Each structure stands twice: as C-alpha cells, then as structure tokens.
Copies of this chain bind each other. A is one copy, B any other.
Amino acid sequence: MENKNYQHLTRTFQRLSRFSHLSAIAGWDMFAMMPPGGSNARSEALAELGVLQHQILTDKQVGEWLRNAEQENLNDLEQANLREMARHYQQAALLPESLVEAKSLAGSRCEHAWRTQRPNNDWLGFAENLKEVVKLSREEARIRAQAKNCSPYDALLDIFEPDMTSARLDVLFGDLKSWLPELLTKAVEKQASKTLIAPQGPFPVEHQRQLGLEAMKRLGFDFNAGRLDVSAHPFCGGVPEDVRITTRYNEHDLLSALFGVIHETGHARYEQNLPRNWLGQPVSYARSTAIHESQSLFFEMQLARSDAFLQHLLPAVVAQFGPQSAFEASNFVAWNQRVKPGFIRIDADEVSYPAHVILRYEIERALIDGEIEVDDIPALWDEKMRHWLGLSTEGNYRDGCMQDIHWTDGGFGYFPSYTLGAMYAAQLMHAARNAMPDLESRIASGDFSTLFEWLRQNIWQHGSRFGTSQLIQQATGEDLNSRYFREHLTARYL
C-alpha cells in the first residue's frame, strides 16, 4: 500500500473524530437537554471516552507512523494534514497521564466550587482551589515550554493560537493600549449627549426564539445541519455536519439573546463550511480559537451591529414585538451601538472589551511565568480596572477576578483569542470591502451572499490547511495588525 503510514494515521484520526462526534453531542446534551440526575453518569461516560481517545492518540505506534509518514509521498493537503496530526499528537503525548488526571480533577473541583463561591464573593475559598490549578498549569507549561523551547506562557498560548507568542501579543496589545483608552473616553463622551429610549419588555421567549431563527436564516445558517436550543451559558457545539448553537432568554432583554444567537451563528457557519471532503481529518478543523472568534465577531460586531444591518433587521424585530418608540430606526441603531464600560467582560461593548481581555492576559501571563502569585490577583485586577475603565473592584471579587470560568479549569492562554478575534474580524471586513465596493448597499438590502462567499473562499474552506499568519495574509494581504480595528471603532463610535 502506498503511503502506508499516512493511511494508518488517517484511519486513526477518523476513528478519533467519530468518538469526538459522540462526545460533542453528549456534551451538548449535557448543557442543553440533560436533567440534573443524569450528571454523574454522563461525566463518567465522557471521561471514559476521553481516556480512550487519549490512549488512541498517544499510542507510541502513532508516533512511529508520524515519523515514517514524513518520508512518504504526500501532496500539499496531505502534508498539511500530517503537520496538524503531529501537532495534536505532540500536544497530547507530551504530558504524563498523572498530570493530565490531576489537572482535570483540580479543574473540576475548582470549577464546581466556583459556582457557589462566586455568588458568595468567597475569594479566599476560591483562591485555595485556584492555587492548585495554577500549580498544575505551571507544571504543564514548564513541560510544554521545554519541548518547544519557549516561555511557559507561550507554550500554553500555542495550544489555542499556534502562531502566536507573547512577544507579538505585547506589540499588538501594546498598540491597542496606546490609543484605545482615549478612543473609549471620547466615545463615551460623544454618546453622553444623546438620550436613548430603551426597548420596553417583556419580550416573550417564543417571539425571541422566532426572531433568532429568522436572523439565523438570513445569516445563512444551514438548518439541515444544525439546531438552536437553550442553555445557561450559550455556546456553539456539535460537529460540522450537525452544529448545535444555544442561547438563553431574558424576557426583559431582547438584545442579549438576539446578538448572542448572531454571534454563535458566526461560529456555526465556520463549522458548517469547513472542508467537507476532509471532515474527520485534523486539516479540516477550525484553524484556531482566535480565528473562530473572528468569525463570530465578524457576524456580531462587523456585520450585525452596523447601521446597514440593524436597519435591515428592524422590520423583523417589529414584526415579532410590535412597534414602540425604541424601535424608531436611529434610536434602535444607537441603542445597539452604546458604549458603556462596566465590570463584566461578557456584557461589554466592543470598545471596552479589549480592556477586559488585556488585563486578563497580563495577569495570566505573569501568573504562569511565575512573576506573581494567586494572592496578587485581586490587587492587580483592581489597579488595571481603575486604570482602563475607571472602576474599582476592591473587595468585589464576584464582579472582578472571579467572574470568568476560564481559569477555574486551567484554561490559561485562551483570553487573548477574544481580542485577536476582534482585530482579525476588522481586518477581514476591511479586505472584504475592498474586494466588494458595493458591499454596504448589499448589506442594507439584506443580500449577504457575496460577503459569505468571500468568507467561505478566504477562511472557512481552508480549515487548518494554512497557519494563522498565512491564512490571514492570503485573505487580507498583510499579517494581523490593529490598524483596521482602530479604523472600525473610530468610524463607528467617534
């Protein structure tokens, strides 16, 4: 058989992807469908499958096939697939099983306790668990850093963003830091002069759901290959052939569910349009968490919060809830473009959002690289929040350093993806506009087809074929920089 080793690998990764299919669906079910009594059995079942997947992936036979396959006669796509296989193998095989297990255990414990500690503002209780998670994450980072010959934090960053380093992040985020605080201040000042009318609820859940489905339809979600459901924490799950997005409804807040659905629709369309012929192989996976987030933010921020889209969507909103003065066009647009710095990252507008991310990035990097300890976090958080947003979180842990789930199970290195995603999205929209001079009028008339075709051609269809830098250079003609994000914010908010 030709390319025998490579063939063994594709079979192995196909098997793994089939098992991942089952754990993705069972995982979605856990958050969207499962009654509480199923929890223990489900966790055990998923853990059992996880152990099996880890065994299959890290089998030393796989390492051998990977080495031998490098000598085989592979085309470009196969080589890209092999590169991605090797990346997944190395990431999994590097850690001793005892560390994986200890980290998973400490993470579950920390996350589980956090659910009650956060509402109770119990920093001391939380810190105790978090210290164990940090200890194990540092150990993981140390091992990965040794293998990659980089700093510990960069080794964790690499899991989520293969091309990214903290040196580059410091440049990108440093640039943001040089102009964003002023832009934010000006935007807030400018908006202070306008008086806006808030939409008046209640907005019945079923109507919100219908509106969300309508928005998904207009945004090209393929309902033959996915669903919309409800979960406490919205997410995009499932598999490319069957993408499960979720939202949560608040009868008194129309827009959080609507824009949540639009955000997840961006994630979903990326998944639904990954290269079909390669599904099951690592080269077909989404490129990275930042590229994934760039698609959701492209949909939510670049597209859906634009004047043109908001005016296009407005009749559908009125059709569900009837007219009210808040639905007057200019008020509706302005309401959806408010800038209002606050404590909570997930409620933040796109102008203040980077502040939340950069402060987390600076803290988690220092934490993993051993420059600070868990006990130092609250003071640093307070200092950075005062500096960026003029808000104090002193003693208010629940709305400060305890607000996010990410660190509880050791997801250090993930936060930068959000702001990288926002920058990618702005850069992509800039390139799309250049490629399509009539884009604005198309959007206003509800014709998104050429825009989505551009995304499909430039991002979606490539999966993980190219590295992030190459992908973005091919799509936009240059590597990631913050210029287009700045231009976007300036144009929309100043």
Binding site for B on A (CB under 8 A): 15, 18-19, 21-23, 25-26, 29, 33-38, 40-42, 44-46, 48-49, 52, 222-227, 238-239, 241-242, 279
Contacts and interface: CB of A to CB of B under 8 A. Distances in A.
A46 B22 contact: yes
Given A19-B48, A21-B44, A35-B224, 16 more contacts: A18-B44, A19-B45, A21-B45, A22-B22, A22-B23, A25-B42, A33-B227, A35-B227, A35-B242, A37-B222, A37-B242, A38-B225, A38-B238, A41-B242, A42-B241, A42-B242
Nearest to A16: B48
A23 B25 CA distance: 10
A334 B40 CA distance: 45
Contact of A49 (B19, B36, B223): B19
Contacts of A34: 242
A358 B259 CA distance: 59
A413 to B, nearest CB: 29
13 contacts: A15-B48, A18-B44, A21-B41, A22-B22, A22-B45, A22-B46, A22-B49, A25-B25, A34-B242, A37-B225, A38-B225, A38-B241, A42-B241
Copies in the complex: 2
A42 B21 contact: yes
Contacts of A15: 48
Contacts of A19: 45, 48-49
A46 to B, nearest CB: 7
A380 B37 CA distance: 49
B35 A225 contact: yes
Of the candidates A35, A36, A44, the one having the most CB atoms from chain B within 10 angstroms of its own CB is A35
Contacts of A22: 22-23, 26, 45-46, 49
Contacts of A21: 26, 41-42, 44-45
A242 B45 CA distance: 13
Contacts of A25: 25-26, 29, 42
A40 B241 contact: yes
Contact of A241 (B23, B41, B226): B41
A169 B35 CA distance: 41
Given A22-B26, A29-B29, A241 B37 contact: yes
B37 A224 contact: yes
A89 to B, nearest CB: 20
Nearest to A225: B37
B224 A18 contact: no
A18 B48 contact: yes
A244 to B, nearest CB: 9
Pairs A-B, 10 closest by C-beta atoms: A38-B242, A37-B225, A21-B45, A18-B48, A37-B224, A41-B241, A18-B45, A22-B22, A38-B241, A25-B26
A139 to B, nearest CB: 29
Nearest to A40: B241
Contacts of A35: 223-227, 242
Contacts of A23: 22
Nearest to A33: B227
A114 B52 CA distance: 37
A189 B111 CA distance: 68
A21 B37 CA distance: 14
A24 to B, nearest CB: 9
A227 B225 CA distance: 24
Contacts of A36: 224
A19 B18 CA distance: 13
A35 B228 CA distance: 11
A19 to B, nearest CB: 7
A358 to B, nearest CB: 39
A36 B224 CA distance: 6
B239 A18 contact: no
A48 B16 CA distance: 10
A22 to B, nearest CB: 5
A41 B226 contact: no
A104 to B, nearest CB: 16
